[in-house]
A and B are shown apart, each in its own frame.
Chain A
Amino acid sequence: MAGRPEIVEQRDWTGIAIKAFSPVVSVILAVLISSLIIWAFGKDPVAAFSALIRGSFGSMNYIGETFLSAVPLMFTGLAVAYGFRSGLFNIGAEGQLFMGGLAGAYLGVVLGGMSVFIALPAIIIAGALAGAAWAFIPAVLKARVGAHEVITTMMFGYIARYIVSWLVTGPLKAPGPIPQTDLIGAGAVLPRIVQVFPALQLGRAHMGLLIAVGCAALMWFILKYTTTGYESRAVGFNPLAAENGGISIASTTVKALCISGALAGLAGVVEVLGVQGRIFDTFSSGFGFTGIAVALLAKNNPIAVIPAAILFGALSAGSSLMQLEANVPIKVVSIIQGLIIFFVATEPFVSKWIARRRKEVTARAQ
Chain B
Amino acid sequence: MPLLEVREITKVFPGVLANDKVSMTLDAGEIVALLGENGAGKSTLMNVVYGLLSPDGGEVLIEGKPANIHNPRQAIDLGIGMVHQHFMLVEPLTVTENIVLGREPVKYGQVIDLAFARRAVLELSGRYGLKVDPDARVMDLSVGMQQRVEILKALYQGARILILDEPTAVLTPAEVRELFGVVRSLVDEGLAVALITHKLEEVLAIADRVLVMRDGRLVGETRPADTDQAGLARMMVGRDVVLRVARTPGSPGEVVLSVDDLEVDDDRRLPAVKGVSLNVRAGEVVALAGVDGNGQREIVEAITGLRRPKAGSITLRGKDITRATPRQTIAAGVSHVPEDRHRRGLVLEFDIAENMVLGDHRKAPYAHGGIVSTKAVADTARKRVADFDVRTPSIHVLAGALSGGNQQKVVVARELGRDPDLLIAAQPTRGLDVGAIEFVHEQILAERDRGKAVLLVSLELEEVLSIADRILVIYEGLIVHEVLAEEATDEMLGYYMTGGGGSKLSAPVEKGGS
Contacts and interface: CB of A to CB of B under 8 A. Distances in A.
Contacts of A12: 14
A245 interface: yes
Interface string B356-388: 001101100001001110100000000000000
Contact of B304 (A2, A11, A15, A244): A244
B336 A244 contact: yes
B350 interface: yes
Interface string A1-40: 1111101011110010000000000000000000000000
A250 B349 CA distance: 21
A3 B358 contact: no
A246 B327 contact: yes
A238 B214 CA distance: 31
Contacts of B367: 227
B345 A7 contact: no
A5 B326 contact: no
Interface string B317-351: 00000000111011100001010000111111110
A9 B343 CA distance: 28
A331 interface: no
- The contact size tier of chain A is 20 to 34
B90 interface: no
A10, A225, A241, A248: most-surrounded residue (chain B CB, <10 A): A241
B15 interface: yes
B17 to A, nearest CB: 5
A289 interface: no
Contacts, number: 98
B139 interface: no
Contact of A243 (B17, B306, B370): B306
B306 A244 contact: yes
A7 B358 contact: no
A227 B374 CA distance: 11
A245 B356 CA distance: 10
**Dominant SS among interface residues on chain B:** loop
A2 B219 CA distance: 14
A3 B54 contact: no
Nearest to A15: B14
Given A1-B391, A5-B215, A248 B325 contact: yes
Contacts of B354: 230
A241 B394 contact: no
A359 B57 CA distance: 10
A11 B394 CA distance: 11
Given A237-B349, A245-B326, A359-B54, A227 B15 contact: no
Interface in B195-210: none
B228 interface: no
27 contacts: A1-B389, A3-B215, A3-B238, A5-B217, A7-B17, A9-B393, A10-B15, A225-B374, A226-B370, A228-B370, A229-B372, A234-B350, A234-B358, A237-B347, A237-B348, A237-B350, A238-B349, A241-B347, A243-B306, A243-B326, A244-B345, A245-B326, A245-B359, A245-B361, A246-B326, A356-B54, A359-B56
Interface of A: 1-5, 7, 9-12, 15, 224-231, 233-234, 237-238, 240-248, 356, 359
Interface of B: 14-17, 20, 54, 56, 214-217, 238, 304, 306, 325-327, 329-331, 336, 338, 343-350, 354, 358-359, 361-362, 367, 370-372, 374, 389, 391, 393-394
